[in-house]
Amino acid sequence: MCIRDRPQLRRLWQLDSGAVQELYDAGAHLDDEVVHRHRQAVTPDSVATIIYTSGTTGRPKGCVISHGNFMYEADTVIERWEPVFHSKRGDEAATLLFLPLAHVFGRMVQIAGIRGKVKFGHQPQLNAAALLPDLAAFKPTFFLAVPYIFEKVFNAARRKAEKEGRSGPFEKAVDVAVKYADAMEAKAWGIGPGPSAGLRMQHQLFDKLVYSKVRAAMGGRIRQAMSGGSAMDRKLGLFWAGAGVHIYEGYGLTETTAAATANPPERTRYGTVGQAIPGMTVHIADDGEIWLRGENVFQGYLNNPKATDEALHDGWLATGDLGSLDEDGYLTITGRKKEILVTSGGKSVSPGLLEERVRDHPLVAQCIVVGNDRPYIAALVTLDQEAVEHWLAMRGKPRMAPAELVRDADLEAEVRRAVVAANTLVSQAESIRTFRILAQPFTEEHGLLTPSLKLKRKAIENAYGSEVEALYRA
């Protein structure tokens, strides 16, 4: 939000410019009785905050969230996911908060932590280079993050193993972790006996050699985590569980004050975003849209009755997301209605699945699929700079300028492998026909990402209009 867009704004306080003391001084003359009277006037229906949506497909809207919304959400999460907060008996619960507080997930974590008497640290930079040293120093018992963080830590561990000549053992450790967690999941659901004796022995060995070191990179005390904001690859979730960090993946929106669904502690189903949290109801409409109802659903959009009426229907929130429920009520996100691409041949394509699979490649930072009103599907891909530098060093290649790097034939072949892997998930008509590697990543500073690192599709397509056009030249 730009200040000049709010002509009615009379005052702006900045916490890092002495605002706390300024506010304290401004109220110093008030009697305590006046303060308590105002506090008692606050009810569960009173507005607690206005949080703006990410605006991935359009202009952000202000979500009016009540005190009741926040208290219901925070207390439900604390009670139902108590193992996350207290993973070891007698261990002081501690978390390093690094999610942006402008985002509802970060705000909910903050409030739940205060309600749950959790020791807090704060790291304002949502990137692995700045975050990992602070995780090691603060030693949290749990944290709540987006999948990007778990991917970054995993890829950093893989690169370290390659540098030390231990690539083979590391990949074997990954395979064992995934198989071990998969067997534990099957046992929890009563469809398998659990890990075999041989697998348990291998797991114990790799816990000493590999998994403990991965956990040590995050402070050594983490055993539980929650993930939201975007989908996590099933294999990545299984690896972390096998490595001793149980990640509960969930789903929610600004409009639901964060989590609406999450995997329960006793029965995680990896690759899904879990069941409805207590008190929440999930319904799949005829067109596949996810509808939600519960005490954490917001009051409406600020000064936007039309958008509110479009979203809320007799207490039900039409999310705009597409999904499916299995026989046990576990939700899988399949796309977003506004992001569906329709080619000039009339083929509808949900880009999320393709983008996530391309991003699975360690060299790929971001992928955006395009093709609306075009003859076929194409993609723009950005690179993970740390991973690329490691890749160059391991192959004895010199460092290259970004413009030179994107034309490297070997690098292009690596990205092509990622695209081919993604295409195996869809039909030929839905597959990525061509792609272009970009020299620079999409960033929040350039208005191309939300604070939670989601792609702003329209902004990206506008910023890279010439590159998109080039994908369709004969």
* Pair 37, 109 in one domain: no
* Pair 433, 307 in one domain: no
| Domain annotation covers residue 8 | no
Question: For the chain, what is the domain count?
Answer: 3
In 3-state terms, what secondary structure has residue 67?
Answer: helix
| Domain annotation covers residue 306 | yes
Using only C-alpha atoms, the chain has a radius of gyration, in whole angstroms, of 23
**Per-residue pLDDT tens digits of the chain, which is 474 residues long:** 455 556 778 888 888 889 999 999 998 999 999 989 988 999 999 999 999 987 666 688 999 999 999 999 999 999 999 888 876 666 789 999 988 888 899 899 899 988 888 999 988 877 777 888 999 999 999 988 889 889 989 999 999 999 999 999 999 999 999 999 999 999 999 999 999 999 999 999 999 999 999 999 899 999 999 998 888 999 999 999 999 999 999 999 999 999 999 999 999 999 999 999 999 999 999 999 999 999 999 999 999 999 999 999 999 999 999 999 999 999 999 989 989 999 999 999 999 989 999 999 999 999 999 999 999 999 999 999 999 999 999 999 999 998 899 999 999 999 999 999 999 999 999 999 999 999 999 998 999 998 778 899 999 999 999 999 999 985
Which residue segment(s) compose the domain that 385 sits in? 340-470
* Pair 201, 256 in one domain: yes
| Domain annotation covers residue 6 | no
N- to C-terminal Cα distance for the chain?
A: 41
* Pair 122, 25 in one domain: no
| Domain annotation covers residue 1 | no
In angstroms, the Cα distances linking 299 to 90, 115, 280, 335 are 39, 23, 16, 25
Q: What is the pLDDT of residue 57?
A: 65
CATH number for the domain that contains residue 390: 3.30.300.30
Give the DSSP letter string of 357-374: HHHTSTTEEEEEEE-TTS
Q: How many CB atoms lie within 10 A of CB 102?
A: 14
Tokens of residue 36, six digits: 């308590």
Instruction: State the number of CA atoms in the 13 A half-sphere of 402 facing the CB.
Output: 10
Q: What is the pLDDT of residue 3?
A: 54
Domain boundary among 305, 337, 369: 337
* Pair 115, 30 in one domain: no
Q: Give the phi and the psi of residue 50 in degrees, each rounded to 5.
A: -125, 120
* Pair 190, 267 in one domain: yes
CATH number for the domain that contains residue 134: 3.40.50.12780
Give the DSSP letter string of 152-182: HHHHHHHHHHHHTT-HHHHHHHHHHHHHHHH
| Domain annotation covers residue 5 | no
| Domain annotation covers residue 204 | yes
Spatial separation of the C-alpha atoms in residues 348 and 65, rounded to whole Å? 35
Q: What is the pLDDT of residue 1?
A: 47
* Pair 328, 389 in one domain: no
Domain boundary among 284, 311, 337: 337
Instruction: Please enumerate in sequence order all residues whose Cβ is within 8 A of that of 453, keeping only pairs 6 or more positions apart, or say none.
Output: 126, 146, 148, 229, 444
Q: Give the phi and the psi of residue 359 in degrees, each rounded to 5.
A: -65, -15
| Domain annotation covers residue 456 | yes
In angstroms, the Cα distances linking 272 to 109, 235, 390, 406, 431 are 21, 12, 32, 35, 23
Spatial separation of the C-alpha atoms in residues 239 and 245, rounded to whole Å? 9
* Pair 228, 364 in one domain: no
* Pair 363, 288 in one domain: no
Spatial separation of the C-alpha atoms in residues 84 and 107, rounded to whole Å? 17
Contact 358, 379 (CB under 8 A): yes
* Pair 398, 409 in one domain: yes
* Pair 289, 372 in one domain: no
* Pair 448, 332 in one domain: no
| Domain annotation covers residue 31 | yes
Domain boundary among 286, 307, 337: 337
Please provide the size of the chain in residues. 474
Tokens of residue 439, six digits: 């020299």
Query: Which has the closest alpha carbon to 246: 215, 201, 209, 217?
Result: 215
